[in-house]
Amino acid sequence: MLVVSAEVREAIAGRRPVVALESTIIAHGLPRPRNLEVALEFEQSVREEGAVPATVAVVDGQARIGLDKQQLERIAAGDSVRKLGQRDLPLALATGATGATTVSGTAFLAALAGIRIFATGGLGGVHRQWTSTQDESADLGLLARTRIAVVCAGVKSILDVPATLERLETLGVAVAGYRTERFPGFYVADSGQPVDWSLYSPADVAAVLRAQDELGGPDAALIVANPVPVAEQLDPALHDQVLDDALRACDEQGVTGQAVTPFLLDFLVRRTKGASLRANLAAVRGNVRLAAKIAAAWA
Ligand code: PSU
Ligand code: MN
């Protein structure tokens, strides 16, 4: 049920650098047809840094680590592509479904294949209406049980960022800012929250991974929080204003469950006339490159 591409399998066996990439961002987080170009660009960036990209998805009931171009096109194209968290994987495999994996689905499969470094945009987290909806992304719980380094630009500002950081602490997931003492806010470089730890080079990050292994203990992730460059961030004032509208629209239209995150992301793209998309892409680009450098240091 788990198919690792030959290129990825050989790189893992040869202890060469490999970076897992998630696919929900492609299928449900970015507008078409831009999403396919971007997916290919991310893979290319990983290669330019000397690592092997391993995009993860489920195609016709097979969990795939490393997609060929045709498989990537299917994930980018289809309305019928499902969004798969870790809990959905057995259902998707058994029913022959095709779906994109979220952070939880990707981290689980990547770790199973022996990949230690994973790049994404923003993690899921605690939603702002948590007290009434109990909407907390399964990303958090899965990262508490999976030894993988996730390079991200923080969590999306559509979430309750302080509550998400509290949950990560409760769950025992390590969080470090990369060359920053502020927790990044995905579209913006600073979410307004501090981080307790900062790391300054790929070698620093690799040293933490080594310490995780040597020390043992629960199999929890390391979150490497890498801010979008300030020059490429979404204007914070525009961000705050549009976000309020997005949250209200979500509420009024009764959007719930898995649909919440894609709805809010799409609303922001339309309302900022693409500025949020540019910041989003800049953030992911930076994460992908950093993840490849960390994978090289780790290898
Ligand atoms: N980051 C993005 N775009 C996305 C996501 C993250 O820039 O679409 C996805 C990730 O796959 C993450 C998921 O795991 O949103 C969280 O969804 P939920 O809140 O339903 O768990
Ligand atoms: Mn949710």
- Write out the DSSP string of 173-228: -EEEEES-SEEEETTEEEEEEE-S-EE-SHHHHHHHHHHHHHH--S---EEEE-PP
| Annotation says 41 is catalytic | no
Q: Does residue 134 share a domain with residue 67? A: no
Which residues are known binding-site members? 83, 103, 135, 137-139
Q: Does residue 125 share a domain with residue 59? A: no
Q: Does residue 142 share a domain with residue 99? A: no
Q: Does residue 104 share a domain with residue 42? A: yes
Dist. CA 132 → ligand 2 center (Å):
13
Dist. CA 102 → ligand 1 center (Å):
6
pLDDT recorded at residue 209: 98
**What distance in Å separates the CA atoms of residue 56 and residue 4, rounded to the nearest whole number?**
9
**What distance in Å separates the CA atoms of residue 261 and residue 278, rounded to the nearest whole number?**
18
pLDDT recorded at residue 156: 85
Q: Does residue 55 share a domain with residue 73? A: yes
Residue 86 Cβ inside 6 Å of ligand 1? The answer reads no
Q: Does residue 195 share a domain with residue 61? A: no
State how beta strands 2-4 and 99-101 pair: unpaired
Query: Which atom of ligand 1 is closest in space to residue 103's alpha carbon?
Result: 14
Query: Which atom of ligand 1 is closest in space to residue 258's alpha carbon?
Result: 20
Domain limits at 163? 121-298
Q: Does residue 237 share a domain with residue 94? A: no
* pLDDT per residue as tens, the chain (299 positions): 899 999 999 999 999 999 999 999 999 989 899 999 999 999 999 999 999 999 999 999 999 999 999 999 999 997 899 999 999 999 999 999 999 999 999 999 999 999 999 999 999 999 988 999 899 999 999 999 999 999 999 998 889 999 999 999 999 999 999 999 999 999 999 999 999 999 999 999 999 999 999 999 899 999 999 999 999 999 999 999 999 999 999 999 999 988 988 899 999 999 999 999 999 999 999 999 999 999 999 99
Last residue of a domain, one of 93, 115, 137: 115
Work out the number of other CB atoms within 10 angstroms of the CB of residue 37. 11
Which of the residues 43, 136, 156, 293 is marked catalytic?
Answer: 156
The residue contributing the CA closest to ligand 1 atom 20 is 258
**What distance in Å separates the CA atoms of residue 97 and residue 78, rounded to the nearest whole number?**
12
pLDDT recorded at residue 244: 92
- Buried b / exposed e along 52-63 (16+ C-beta atoms within 10 A): bbbbbbbbeeeb
Where does residue 259 rank: exposed (0-12), middle (13-18), buried (19+ CB within 10 A)? middle
Last residue of a domain, one of 92, 115, 138: 115
Which of the residues 22, 43, 49, 136 is marked catalytic?
Answer: 22
pLDDT recorded at residue 292: 98
CATH code of the domain covering residue 36: 3.40.1790.10
Contact assessment for residue 44 and residue 72, using Cβ atoms and an 8 Å cutoff: no
The token pair at 233 is: 């961030």
Q: Does residue 98 share a domain with residue 40? A: yes
pLDDT recorded at residue 129: 86
Running DSSP on this structure, what letter comes out for residue 136?
A: B
The residue contributing the CA closest to ligand 1 atom 21 is 137
Residue 259 Cβ inside 6 Å of ligand 1? The answer reads no
Q: Does residue 137 share a domain with residue 56? A: no
pLDDT recorded at residue 39: 97
Last residue of a domain, one of 115, 139, 158: 115
